[in-house]
Chain A
Amino acid sequence: MLAVAALLAGCAGEQRAEPFAGYSRTPIRTVAAVSVPAVGGDGDDSFVAQPGGLRLVYFGFTSCPDVCPTTLSDLRRGLAELAPEERSRVGVDVVTVDPARDQPEVLDDYASSFIEDATSHRSDDPEVLRTAVDSFGANYRITVDSNGDPEVAHSGALYVVDDAGLVVLAWPFGIPAASIASDLERLLAGERPSDLSRSGGDHPQAE
């Protein structure tokens, strides 16, 4: 464990002067007012983190064999690099963009197969889903192919939300686990991407 810690410190040290591996938006988005029902009823419908914490939000679907498992597996490995105290401040939320096929139990099993304590979210109301997706700056599209099978396109990004409901960072598809871990450590320590510091501590409204 000492070796791992030393190693992480080494990585963080290298990147300290560097930008975050993820990207941020100006103006910053807020999702403080956004909610999609949590499956199972014991979770939080919203995406606002606990004080001092972060929520990591992913829009995906369970029949996704390539893109979603890649990102959720890398996220699991990234989270495993965190110290227990840091990990305890991070929540993971998986929102299905394919509620017609993703019934609640299926969705919950899928999400927790990657991240045991993940909260899954699902709404049959397309407006609820579209509002949430838009607020994050994400996107999705479901079409039907020539065989009549649904084809789902969706943003492959992972979104980081802070305790004020601000989307402080997003990681694109393909982000390595080590980058997730080092960005999270800096965010949990209170650091923010430099282009967000101009926004100050207020809660700017999204479009």
Chain B
Amino acid sequence: MKQTYEDRDSLRRVIAVVVLTSLAITSIALVACGGDESTSESTTGAASGAPAVSDPWVRAAARGNNSAAYMTITGGAEADAVVAAELPEGTATEVQLHQSSSTGGMDGGEMDSMMEMKQVAEIPIPAGGSVALEPGGYHIMIIGLTTDLSAGQKLPVTLTFSSGDRSTIEAEVRTG
């Protein structure tokens, strides 16, 4: 199940509104317990023909730390891939494509599994499908922030696809 990244204040606001309008409590409970989908504005690839990007966000972090960018990328009729990601000059030392995955052990067994992270050359986008860059999976790793990333800020992220197309999207900085 996908995780929700709505901050608590916005959740409170949602709850307050729902209670005020006396809607069924069950619908709030579903939102709060299920945590299914965090909806926010979508940004579409600028270049025509480039894959479409939705819900791009970057984790807030202080200067000197690492961070990560997440989004969902939906491809066209043909398979494509993200081959590079860039941030504006003066944001970070390096930006890489990474994948976290589970390895070894078994949760609750003799020894729990481990999460490991590896740099990847590309993030494949299946033909007619989409790839989720999300915590614990594919992500854009931002190494050595040279500036603070604070919640609410917008950060342009430029993606290069294997087709050669480039597309810049505005990712929202969130506390994650």
Q: Which residues of A contact B (CB under 8 A)?
A: 3-4, 6-8, 10-11, 14, 23-25, 62-67, 69-70, 73-74, 77, 80, 109-110, 113, 134, 137-141, 145, 151-157, 170, 172-174, 176-178
Contact = CB atoms under 8 A, between A and B. Distances in A.
> In terms of DSSP, what is the predominant structure of the interface of chain B?
mixed
B112 A155 contact: yes
A69 B176 contact: yes
Given A7-B15, A153-B117, A155-B112, 18 more contacts: A8-B32, A10-B26, A66-B136, A69-B61, A70-B176, A73-B59, A80-B8, A139-B104, A139-B105, A139-B113, A141-B116, A145-B118, A153-B104, A155-B115, A156-B115, A157-B112, A173-B102, A174-B3
A98 B118 CA distance: 17
Interface of B: 1, 3-4, 8, 12, 15-16, 19, 25-26, 28-29, 32-33, 35, 59, 61-62, 65-68, 98, 100, 102-105, 107-108, 110-119, 135-136, 139, 141-143, 175-176
A63 B32 contact: no
Contacts of B142: 65
A142 B112 CA distance: 16
Nearest to A15: B33
Contacts of A110: 65
